[in-house]
Structure 1
Amino acid sequence: MTATVHPKDALRDFFAPGRPDRLGVAVSGGGDSTALLCLLADLRAEGGPKLAAVTVDHTLRPESAQEAALVAALCAQLGVDHATLRWTGWDGRGNLSDAARRARQALIANWARDSEIGTVALAHTSDDQAETFLLRLARGSGVDGLSGMAPRRRSHGIEWVRPLLGVRRQALRDDLSARGVGWVEDPTNADERYDRVRARKALDLLAPLGLTVPRLTETAGRMARARSALDSAVADLARVACTIEAGDVVIARDGFDAAPEEVRLRLLAHAVRFVASAEYRPRFEPLTEAAAALARGGRRTLAGTLLSATGRAYRVAREHRAVAGLTVPVGEVWDGRWRMAGPALQGAEIRALGPEGMAQLDDPRASGLPYATLVASPAVWSGARLVAAPIALFGSNWRAEPLFSVQSFISSIFAH
């Protein structure tokens, strides 16, 4: 897909193979998402997916409620179901942009699941892709970062699609002007306190050097192909070198040590992210330091995991400190990875086994698993009394049911 493709052609091409029956679209009221809404309504009229729209009101600006109402009015004109979701969770701490992004994604994902929608369209354009490339280049990103935003990815149980990554922002505004449809201009889009606004202006200065939006998006596409090839190599190594034991990723040293360094680092990073149920891979510098320590037979903690080495394998386990305070009622998912099944027990809860639980085991060595693996494993507690620790072979009436497998470990290598 080139950066000069017409918006309607972009959508037809994107959704031609395997269109979803029902599609959600996130609409803020800005030019890009408003144009996507109108274009998808056109596609629906041509036999495309049924459509529902959602707007997240972050309540961060006085105008936000009115902007959501404008989107609702446009949806009513187009005959598109619309919902407004409000976020009031900002406590004034941390990174506002990141917190708003995470909240928006979670709210939309919950709405989509409740509406039986499996796919949600986002309105990122080739201009957004070029700005993302430039920002990540400035941060020293490697292949993954410079591959930019993926056209399709899975997160929160939803497929998120970006069908307009080959379309220029101005083409969308031209389309809206031709329709006589207005849009909202977010004042933060001109606020140079934001990195993305500065990157947008920098692109104008870089264009005479050939660093144009089309050129940068083409480069991001090449990086995405390189990333795909690396992911395939990592998956091949994982198939022959990795097993899952009690929730830990165990990597055979012979296959791992013989692989190229980039493949080794990527597999190790993926194992850390998988065990910790983390959204992002660990940073490059601590990752490379941990890999070097493992090669020397050492141990390291990294991003909520414990990495250790034996003569024949490397083990990536959950770090006890990362789950020591995590408590859920029986029946709920613990640490994003485990469910516990057993007899009804009033007031029971799931916590990490910990040193206190280890002291209550009949035979702490019965499972043959490392101490570090056991102390971070899920256990059933009634107050201070250990009821069951299935991974440690304590409590025969209880099972620890993993929400993961070797197959999910390998398939998630490709999920961006």
Structure 2
Amino acid sequence: MARLGPWVPDRTPGGPDMPPVGIAVSGGADSLCLAFLAARWRRAVRALVVDHRLRAESAHEALLTLDRLRDLGIPADLLVLEGLRRGPGLADRARRARYAALTRACRQAGIIDLLLGHHADDQAETILIRRRAASGPDGLAGMAWISSTADLRLVRPLLGFGKERLRATLRHAGLAWIEDPSNADVRAERARVRGALAGDPERAELARRSAARAGRARMVADHGQAVALAARTEYAPGGWVALPADLLCPRALASVLRMVSGGDYPPSRRAVDALAAAPRAATLGGACLLPAGPALRRAGLAWLVVREEAAMDAAVPARAGACWDGRFVLWAPPGLVLDGVTFGAAGPVARWAPPGWRSRWPARAWRTLPALHRDGRVVAVPLAGICHAPDLADVRIALLPGALAAESGLFGDLPPDGPGDGPGVGPGGEFALAVQERPDMGV
């Protein structure tokens, strides 16, 4: 865990309360083992148990998991997902709902580090699935040891260990876990890949090795992209980005489009490649590429990426902590009454900007700003510094995109002493091979 830091200091007896490290727990062997180990590593931890409500037994299993965690001295919260239905795209819909619920719970609890129970076998499965989907080099790096969202570090400490070692750890500790029958449902692609790899450990190891190689290459590319984008692009608090012409390469463009749209994934590689090769005004993946106006061109910025208006979410009730369009969070003073106020797109500038108001950014960008509405009209656009309702003057809105324009993940081999300290060993190195030789040993 020290190699996956830095971490918020742990709580000490008699000392001040410290923000806990979160642990996503399903009740299965992988996440329960993670919780067991995390509680032995530090005191300030908190488990988040997600009940997807997709099986009749799930409510009972979630309560059983809460009991097991409390027996281990681990405080835990239950997060119930409502509205999920079986059907096409269930795995993706469930994943989105799960991460949204985990993010909200972490924000409320002050958690900035969330531990996830993905392991070496999951990594091998991911690589084979992405190969079949013709993922690019970044996708074939697999899952990262550390990845970041707008307000969370997602940490996967078990990527170097196979699932049999995790189960051996639980058996040695005398702990039972829940087996989810949907994990063996061959109608799901991951279950089919899991079955194929179960009888071919050499293929699984080759997949993990390839992920480590691709991960090292991805970190080099991510670093170069981060330096270039930080130095030469302009980011607006309203969520749009201006770029110079020579940074409109496919990789950077895909990342910026994803960040501005708030999408889980970048647009298709083929579409991004075509747009980067022949830049033009276009809409792609929930964002729009526009030629920059004269003021931006004088600053060396040739293109603007803004949110696609037609793809933005509908307005939501305004309340402290409300999130709109997957990118903006509302903050309000305690006790402020927001009854009758909604939180959504600002819309046409003429409806809310004072007379004579001018900006170097185009109206098409300003229309995508988050605003507060009351009685059918815009009463405040905090990110533009405009407020027509004195009682809302202290409301703030922050941009918290779910995706970053430049990733900061730790892929490939885990460094021996800390991120960036050396080549190390990891999922594809000698240490991983050694631990796989004795699955009965546990972690």
Q: TM-score over 0.5 for the alignment? A: yes
Residue identity matched to 2:242: V
Contact kept? 2:24, 2:49, Cα under 8 Å: yes
Matched, 1:39 2:37: yes
> Which residue does the alignment assign to 1:221?
212
Contact kept? 1:339, 1:402, Cα under 8 Å: yes
Superposition pairs of residues 6-405 of structure 1, within 5 angstroms: 14=3, 18=7, 21=10, 22-41=20-39, 43-44=40-41, 48-92=42-86, 95-155=89-149, 157-204=151-198, 206-207=200-201, 210-211=202-203, 213-245=204-236, 247-253=239-245, 255-256=246-247, 264-294=249-279, 298-309=280-291, 313-323=302-312, 325-326=314-315, 329=318, 335=325, 336-337=327-328, 351-355=344-348, 357-358=349-350, 366-378=358-370, 383=375, 403-404=398-399
Classify 1:50/1:291 alpha carbon distance in 2 versus 1 (closer, same or farther; 3 Å): same
Q: Give the 3-state SS of the residue equivalent to 2:138 in structure 1.
A: helix
Q: Give the 3-state SS of the residue equivalent to 1:89 in structure 2.
A: coil
Classify 1:96/1:393 alpha carbon distance in 2 versus 1 (closer, same or farther; 3 Å): closer
Name the CA distance, whole Å, in 2 between partners of 1:16 and 1:386: 44
Classify 1:393/1:368 alpha carbon distance in 2 versus 1 (closer, same or farther; 3 Å): farther
Residue identity matched to 2:192: R
- Greater RCO, 1 or 2 (C-alpha within 8 Å, sep 6+): 2
Provide structure 2 residue ranges, at least 5 long, that are not aligned to the other structure.
Answer: 11-19, 411-443
Contact kept? 1:293, 1:300, Cα under 8 Å: no
What displacement does 1:358 show? 3.6
TM-score under structure 2 normalisation?
0.73
Residue identity matched to 1:74: R
Residue identity matched to 1:299: A
Classify 1:248/1:202 alpha carbon distance in 2 versus 1 (closer, same or farther; 3 Å): same
What displacement does 1:288 show? 1.9
Classify 1:240/1:204 alpha carbon distance in 2 versus 1 (closer, same or farther; 3 Å): same
Deviations, residues 148-170 of structure 1 (Å, cap 9, x unaligned): 11112233633222111001111
Residue identity matched to 1:376: T
Q: Give the 3-state SS of the residue equivalent to 1:182 in structure 2.
A: coil
Q: Give the 3-state SS of the residue equivalent to 2:179 in structure 1.
A: coil
Name the CA distance, whole Å, in 2 between partners of 1:160 and 1:392: 32
Provide structure 1 residue ranges, at least 5 long, that are not aligned to the other structure.
Answer: 1-10, 258-263
> Which residue does the alignment assign to 2:15?
none
Contact kept? 1:282, 1:302, Cα under 8 Å: yes
What displacement does 1:229 show? 0.9
Deviations, residues 252-272 of structure 1 (Å, cap 9, x unaligned): 12x426xxxxxx112111221
Classify 1:327/1:119 alpha carbon distance in 2 versus 1 (closer, same or farther; 3 Å): closer
Residue identity matched to 2:306: A
Per mean C-alpha deviation after superposition, the further-off stretch among 308-317 and 127-136 is 308-317
Name the CA distance, whole Å, in 2 between partners of 1:380 and 1:373: 17
Per mean C-alpha deviation after superposition, the further-off stretch among 360-369 and 144-153 is 360-369
Name the CA distance, whole Å, in 2 between partners of 1:249 and 1:70: 47
Classify 1:366/1:107 alpha carbon distance in 2 versus 1 (closer, same or farther; 3 Å): closer
Classify 1:314/1:415 alpha carbon distance in 2 versus 1 (closer, same or farther; 3 Å): farther
Classify 1:345/1:58 alpha carbon distance in 2 versus 1 (closer, same or farther; 3 Å): closer
Q: Give the 3-state SS of the residue equivalent to 1:112 in structure 2.
A: helix
CA RMSD of aligned residues (A): 3.8
Name the CA distance, whole Å, in 2 between partners of 1:375 and 1:83: 39
Residue identity matched to 1:243: E
Q: Which has the higher helix share?
A: 1
TM-score under structure 1 normalisation?
0.77
> Which residue does the alignment assign to 2:431?
none
Classify 1:143/1:79 alpha carbon distance in 2 versus 1 (closer, same or farther; 3 Å): same
Per mean C-alpha deviation after superposition, the further-off stretch among 283-292 and 389-398 is 389-398
Contact kept? 1:328, 1:334, Cα under 8 Å: no
Per mean C-alpha deviation after superposition, the further-off stretch among 187-196 and 95-104 is 95-104
Name the CA distance, whole Å, in 2 between partners of 1:177 and 1:230: 42
What displacement does 1:93 show? 5.8
Q: Is the radius of gyration larger for structure 1 or structure 2?
A: 1
Classify 1:20/1:278 alpha carbon distance in 2 versus 1 (closer, same or farther; 3 Å): farther
Name the CA distance, whole Å, in 1 between partners of 2:79 and 2:381: 41
What displacement does 1:322 show? 2.6
